[in-house]
């Protein structure tokens, strides 16, 4: 989406608030988001551009709900992410090359506005966690049968019987003699 900054550029207002959504699938040349992650909705972007005498600063909160799977047991997970996005906004292309200012921190005004959808998706792709676990101590899947070690797998149960069960088993064996 293009955000019109002419009210600031014409010195009519010092601040412009914005609140919009970005559909990651509709952003041209958007960086790939991990295959394991599916965004459940368009990305919410809420923030403001402030005039600071000579340059403008943009700050925004970016958030989205997404679906993924546990890295160990492949259980489906519903997650959400929220992070802060900030940039210097300028008409001056040369500023981006100035000392101490990283080109990636600058948004250049074109035809009175800025379109930073791609920047949002790029930052999102960097902010999203690489690993997801359903619970911190998820035991994962059995390397023998491939089933969930928390229940469906029976290989482990045969190898490591609860000591109390062992006593009970012996008792049963003796009874059957």
Minimum CB distance to Zn ion, residue 83 (Å): 25
Is residue 70 within the footprint of Zn ion (CB under 5 A)? yes
Residue 155 binds Zn ion (CB under 5 A): yes
- Contact between 87 and Zn ion per CB under 5 A: no
Position 107 contacts Zn ion (CB under 5 A): no
Q: Which is nearer to Zn ion, 13 or 161 (CB)?
A: 161
Residue with Cβ nearer Zn ion (42 or 140): 140
Q: Does 142 bind Zn ion (CB under 5 A)?
A: yes
3-state secondary structure the chain: CEEECHHHHCCCCCEEEEEEEECHHHCCCCCCCCCCCEECCCEEEEEEEEECCCCEEEEEEEEEEEEEECCCCCCEEEEEEEEEEEEEEECCHHHHHCCCCCHHHEEECECCEEECHHHHHHHHHHHCCCCCCCCCCCCCECCCCCCECCCCCCHHHHHCCCHHHHHHHHHHHHHCC
For residue 128, the minimal CB distance to Zn ion (Å) is: 18
CA 108, chain centre distance (Å): 25
* Residue 69 interacting with Zn ion (CB under 5 A): no
Q: Quick one: which of 5, 27, 58, 73 contacts Zn ion (CB under 5 A)? A: 73
Q: Which is nearer to Zn ion, 15 or 155 (CB)?
A: 155
CB count within 10 Å of CB 177 equals 4
95 belongs to the binding site for Zn ion (CB under 5 A): no
Q: Which residues bind Zn ion (CB under 5 A)?
A: 70, 72-73, 75, 134, 138, 142, 144-145, 153, 155
């Amino acid at each position: 989406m293009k955000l019109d900054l002419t009210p600031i550029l014409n010195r009519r207002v010092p601040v412009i608030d914005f609140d919009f959504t970005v559909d990651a699938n509709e952003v041209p040349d958007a960086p790939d988001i991990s295959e394991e992650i599916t965004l459940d909705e368009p990305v919410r972007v809420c923030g403001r551009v402030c005039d600071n005498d000579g340059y403008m600063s943009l700050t925004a909160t970016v958030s989205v709900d997404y679906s993924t799977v546990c890295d160990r047991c492949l259980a489906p997970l519903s997650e959400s992410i929220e992070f802060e996005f900030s940039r210097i906004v300028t008409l001056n292309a040369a500023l981006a090359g100035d000392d101490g200012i990283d080109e990636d921190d600058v948004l250049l005004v074109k035809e009175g506005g800025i379109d930073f959808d791609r920047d949002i998706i790029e930052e999102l792709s960097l902010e999203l966690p690489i690993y997801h676990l359903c619970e911190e101590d998820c035991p994962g899947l059995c390397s023998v049968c491939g089933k969930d070690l928390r229940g469906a797998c029976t290989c482990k149960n045969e190898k490591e019987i609860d000591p109390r069960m062992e006593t009970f088993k012996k008792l049963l064996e003796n009874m059957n003699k």
